[in-house]
Structure 1
Amino acid sequence: MKPFVFRLQTKLDVSRREEEMAKARLQAKEKEVEELEVEKANLYCSLARSEAMMRNFLRESNIYFVNLIRDYIPVLKENIARVEERLDKAREELENLRQDLLKKKREVKTLEKLKQKAWEEYLYELNREEQKFIDEIATSRYWQRQKKIDE
Structure 2
Amino acid sequence: MAKFIFKLQSVLNLRKQKEDSIKNELANATRKLEAEKRKLSELETMLEDTVREFNEKTKKTTVHELIEFNEYLSLLNSRIKTQKENVNNAAQYVDKVREELVKAVKERKILEKLRERQFEEFLLEQKKLEQKTNDEIVSYNYNENGSGD
**TM-score in terms of structure 1 length:** 0.91
Counterpart of 1:25? 25
Does residue 86 (structure 1) correspond to residue 86 (structure 2)? The answer is: yes
RMSD over aligned CA atoms reads 1.6
2:50 maps to: 50
Identity of aligned residues (%): 25
Residue 123 (str. 1) matches residue 126 (str. 2): no
Quote how far apart the aligned CAs of 1:65 are. Answer: 4.6
C-alpha displacement at 1:11, in angstroms? 0.5
Q: CA deviation at 1:88?
A: 1.0
TM-score (norm. length: structure 2): 0.93
- Which residue does the alignment assign to 1:136? 136
Change (3 A) 1:103 1:148: closer
Deviation at 1:41, TM superposition (A): 1.0
Provide structure 1 residue ranges, at least 5 long, that are not aligned to the other structure.
none
Residue 40 (structure 1) aligns with: 40
Letter in 2 for 1:62: T
Q: Kindly indicate whether the alpha-carbon contact (under 8 Å) linking 2:6 and 2:118 is maintained by their aligned counterparts in 1.
A: yes
Q: Is it true that 1:62 corresponds to 2:61 in the alignment?
A: yes
Distance in 1 (CA, whole Å) between partners of 2:95 and 2:147 is 77
Q: Is the 8 A contact 1:57 1:65 kept in 2?
A: no
* Paired residues of 1:57 and 1:66 also in contact (CA < 8 A): no
Q: Distance in 2 between matches of 1:147 and 1:43?
A: 97
Matched residue SS, 2:7: coil
Query: How many pairs are equivalent?
Result: 148
